[in-house]
Amino acid sequence: MTEKTEDFTDLQIVERVKGGDKKAFSILVKRHQRGLMRLSVRFVKDIDMAEDVVQESFIKAYERLASFEARASFKSWLFQIAVNTAKNKLRERKEGTFDIQDVQLGIAPQAESTLVQTSVSQIIQKFVDDLPQRQKTALVLRVYEDLSFKEIADIMECPYDTAKANYRHALMKLKGDIETHQELQNWKEDVGGFVMEMTRRVVEADA
């Protein structure tokens, strides 16, 4: 009985693609596009741009497949390409900081004004975005993508301890920011959930 291509590991598929089986790359795209999209949205804060980042990252990965030596996992390598592509995109746009309005694409002005109010989520998101780039990268990869420090170190191209230190510093900085922010002391707990739900609905409607 022959094994299905879908059951192959990333490395096995990479070898097949390197061997000339272009179609096998489709499995890698299907496996990783969701994670990559999630990551890209977090970095560029713009759905259109995030789509571009994902697409470009996969094409770059395909073109550079010969240089992939499996020292890190394919996922880490792909994420590394995506993080660098996102950084370049942001640099091109000359905008390193996040504007919440960029995420809520196509929202009616009234709904937008409701969402854009200083909610807990937005304040916290602002704190995250104000972190130094490397701290933010480590934090996003760890907290939201649940990656190991080994994977984070591979993606950030730095030693294991540096990745961990960046993550810890990010947490400490956020703790200080959250504790000292007056509005966060008084805010209703369900506001964040409300914003999340609204954002989800808006994006679904827009898609």
Partner 1 sequence: MKKQTGESEPQWWMDIDPLAEIEQKADNKKVIETLEKYDQGQIQFSDDFFDQMHDRIMSEISKEEVQIQEQPLLERYRKKIHQAFTMMASLVVIMIAAETQTRMAEINVRETVEIAQALGNSSARFEHSLLTHQNPDDFFVDLGEESLNHLTQEQIHNLVADESQN
> Which parts of this chain interact with partner 1 (CB under 8 A)?
17-18, 22-23, 25-26, 29-30, 33-34, 37-38, 41-42, 47, 51, 54-55, 58-59, 62-67, 100, 103, 120-122, 124-125, 128, 139, 143-144, 168, 171, 174-175, 178, 192-193, 195-196, 199-200, 203-204, 207
Tell me the closest approach of the beta carbon of residue 175 to partner 1, in angstroms: 5
Q: Kindly tell me which of 34 and 91 has the beta carbon lying closer to partner 1.
A: 34
Tell me the closest approach of the beta carbon of residue 53 to partner 1, in angstroms: 11
Tell me the closest approach of the beta carbon of residue 99 to partner 1, in angstroms: 13
Q: Kindly tell me which of 57 and 76 has the beta carbon lying closer to partner 1.
A: 57
Query: In this structure, which amino acid lies at residue 95?
Result: E
